[in-house]
A and B are shown apart, each in its own frame.
Chain A
Amino acid sequence: MSVGVTNLSVRLGSVLAVDDVTLATPPGQVTAVVGGDGAGKTTLLRAMVGRVAPSAGTIDVPEPRAIGYQPSSSGTWPDLTVDENLDFVGRMYGLSERRLRTRRDTLVERAGLVDARDRLASRLSGGMRTKLGFCMAMVHDPELLVLDEPSTGVDPVSRVELWRLLAESAADGTAVVLATTYMDEAERASFVMVLERGRSLLAGAPDDVVAASPGVVVATGHPQRPAFSWRHADAFREWWPLASPNGDAPVAVDLEDVAIVAALRAQNGVES
């Protein structure tokens, strides 16, 4: 089964929110879509689950019953308890009573929500609420799991736990797609795509993307070209297409640095 989008464009009003994006999100793999506010991540994900209509391109996804979705607002009903939330979603997806109970118990245990089963969703901490939203998206054992910024604003411990849940789903064969603004999470995915203003800026396995970034990044106390430099701790980082004229040593870069470089180059009109 091939899951993903091909040459997808989505126009919202007068804005081209997604511009000719091709992304494969195969089963058993975690795919991360990264970008800031307005980059098009949410629109891309919404197009995949059928919430917004594309203007061009194709979307290959399983049928609605086999898709699980967690919107950026966690998707939980605040006035229902953890159990009630899961029951509602399970029933909406047509799970039998027995299957629902099994899935619910399994997920609640895996997510560490056992002690909070009777607590209202509004009284859960942000991290627990996001894990509940994840369980709700998974309760019907979907083939494709789409998560919109599940970890934004969530504390690091809950994020680690959430990733464990994501990894388990991928290990079970689910195609997992998530939108995130955290580069350290994107680095943990098998495939990452950086979106900016609806277009794909970078795409590939994290290690490949980092290795393929052209030029070098050096650490320096006095950058020469402000348009290609940024602060890092109490020094600067600067990008050069070949080598630093000062002989500054290149530093090991991570995905965040590479994304910054790509964005700066795009902004300054440098040919890729």
Chain B
Amino acid sequence: MNAPLLAVNGLVKRFGATTAADDVTFVVEPGEVVGLLGANGAGKTTVIRMLLGLLRPDAGDARILGEAPSLRSRRALGYVPQDLGLYTELTVAENVHFTAQAYGCEPAALSGALGEVADRLVGRLPLGLQRRVAFVCALQHSPRALVLDEPTSGVDPLARARLWNTVREQADSGVGVLVTTHYIQEARQCDRLLLMSDGRVVGRGREQDIVGDTTAVVVHTPQWESAFRALDQRDVPVTVAGRDVRVIGVSADAVTTMLDEAGITADVVDVPATIGERMTVLARQPARSR
């Protein structure tokens, strides 16, 4: 079991004049959870669709268990799309049975909270339970690899932790998981990350690797509003965190100078940027010519 479960190599996909995926290469090994991050339009969905066999690449290839995506290799895959892919007008049990039949496996037994709502229409369940049903449907045919598109969007922290318990258990038993997320905190649950921007992979590794040497400057002062306004007026990318002002893309010295000019005294400190801030910096760079 040494071959990667999922592998894409040099994937390219163009739609008209736009290159949605540009030389994308990565693997997902058994037992690991890989997080795919990127702004909308960065190419995450395109890559996933090529991996699932829903889209044909213009160049490069995508492989599931070493084979090209096909009906057979798809049986080894579990997929939860962003909108869950459940039938809202069917009950939980009916959804589970239908998926089981489609994949040719035994339907999973529903226990606990899901057991209690087995005969309720999926459309009437709260989101947290809906997501758990989607998981059951995707896992019951014992897939070797999982592709989860924003699996915990919109749920509370405890429900999120529970869903991740399931994801981690799968990884523990050797399943390779590819997750996309917009939630940076969730990225910390992954073993490693891939950051995409403009169709390319622009960052790999753990959070520190992705952020690289991008730093943010935290301004701590009782007059946070004035500090904010002073910096905002100079067209510097600022945001607020509690009562502190965070600045990206500008050095601490430059910030101090600007604040001095505005007559504001403050503590100015360099801190590592967040992944979101790193992505903002990347987004502000001019798009490369193709």
Contact = CB atoms under 8 A, between A and B. Distances in A.
A234 interface: yes
A38 interface: yes
A157 interface: yes
A159 interface: yes
B209 interface: no
Contacts of B242: 187-190, 205-207
Interface string B239-255: 11111010000000000
A159 B283 CA distance: 13
Contact of B127 (A38, A163, A256): A38
Interface stretch (A52-60, A76-84, A136-144, A225-233): A225-233
Contact of A153 (B182, B191, B241): B182
B208 interface: no
A183 B160 CA distance: 11
Contacts of B39: 127, 155-158
A263 interface: yes
A127 B41 CA distance: 11
Interface stretch (B20-28, B135-143, B147-155, B264-272): B147-155
Contacts, number: 147
A156 B182 contact: yes
B240 A163 contact: yes
A43 to B, nearest CB: 13
Nearest to B127: A37
Contact of A152 (B154, B229, B245): B154
B159 A159 contact: no
A16 interface: no
Interface residues of B, number: 52
Contacts of A22: none
A233 B240 contact: no
Interface in B177-219: 182-185, 188-191
Interface string B87-119: 000000000000000000000000000000000
A160 B277 contact: yes
Nearest to A233: B189
Given A28-B225, A233-B189, A127 B40 contact: yes
Q: Which 7 A-B pairs have the closest CB atoms?
A: A36-B156, A167-B240, A37-B127, A156-B276, A263-B158, A155-B39, A230-B161
Given A184-B274, A231-B164, 16 more contacts: A36-B127, A125-B40, A149-B154, A153-B82, A157-B279, A157-B280, A160-B276, A168-B228, A171-B225, A181-B156, A187-B242, A189-B242, A231-B168, A234-B168, A259-B158, A263-B157
Interface of A: 28, 30, 34-39, 125-127, 149, 152-161, 163-164, 166-168, 170-171, 181-184, 187-190, 196, 205-207, 230-234, 254, 256, 259-260, 263-264, 267
